[in-house]
Amino acid sequence: DTGVSQDPRHKITKRGQNVTFRCDPISEHNRLYWYRQTLGQGPEFLTYFQNEAQLEKSRLLSDRFSAERPKGSFSTLEIQRTEQGDSAMYLCASSSKQGKPYEQYFGPGTRLTVT
Amino acid sequence: KNQVEQSPQSLIILEGKNCTLQCNYTVSPFSNLRWYKQDTGRGPVSLTIMTFSENTKSNGRYTATLDADTKQSSLHITASQLSDSASYICVVSRLNSGYALNFGKGTSLLVTP
């Protein structure tokens, strides 16, 4: 499978714990995006990487959230001191500067439940 | 206020029937508009992408239209199938800001036998 993959698919954690999600983009895609989607809503943009550089962060990305893409390939999204309001689906997408520059390919998402 | 509004919020149709979903947007300056299909618990999958100069684009039984003057788009599904049951999300990109997509809340479509 050469699509975007995310791990884990589901995560249940207690309030106050830290969690980390991983995203592996499509090979050779230099752009990577993180989104958050709550029930009944469309995805909301969190952050964007071009190669290893984090070029944009949404105001939604509080100081408890940090994202990295150390080698310009996979990315991690960490949430510290989780709160119940963090419960959501976290989606990762990637795109290439070649071919269809507008096309973002989404992964299956990581569903986070904070109890 | 959301810059991308979709209607209806939900829709139930019989298998084999056609339906049309609507999207109105205020995003400016406009770059492109996309329709995504999202199955429950999965990531969105792109159906169509239209730029300013395109007013219609088809992908199998899905046909999207765009009126950039009135800032409206529609997604028409022909001869619906049970597998069309999903959320359909309209997404608008602002010029020179292609990475920050503006998502609608989606229309939840249920196709029944």
Tens digits of residue pLDDT in B81-110:
999 999 999 999 887 765 678 899 999 999
Could B45 and A93 be called an inter-chain contact, meaning their C-beta atoms sit closer than 8 Å? no
* Low-confidence residues of chain B: pLDDT under 50: none
pLDDT at B26: 94
Residue A50 burial (CB count, 10 A): 16
Could B105 and A42 be called an inter-chain contact, meaning their C-beta atoms sit closer than 8 Å? yes
pLDDT at A72: 85
pLDDT at A1: 53
B66, B93 contact by CB (below 8 A): no
Burial B74-113 (b: 16+ CB within 10 A, else e): bbebeebeeebbbbbbbbbbbeeebbebbbbbbbbbebee
Interchain contact A49–B (C-beta under 8 A): no
What are the pLDDT digits (tens) for A90-106? 999 998 876 555 688 99
C-alpha distances in angstroms, A63 versus A79, B9, B44?
Answer: 9, 33, 27
CA–CA separation, B55 vs B101, rounded Å?
20
How far is B45 from chain A, CA to nearest CA, in Å? 7
Could B89 and A42 be called an inter-chain contact, meaning their C-beta atoms sit closer than 8 Å? yes
Q: Is A69 exposed, middle or buried (0-12, 13-18, 19+ CB in 10 A)?
A: buried
Could A106 and B44 be called an inter-chain contact, meaning their C-beta atoms sit closer than 8 Å? yes
What are the pLDDT digits (tens) for A10-60? 999 999 999 999 999 998 889 999 999 998 888 999 999 999 999 888 888
CA B8 remoteness from chain centre:
11
pLDDT at A86: 96
Interchain contact A99–B (C-beta under 8 A): no
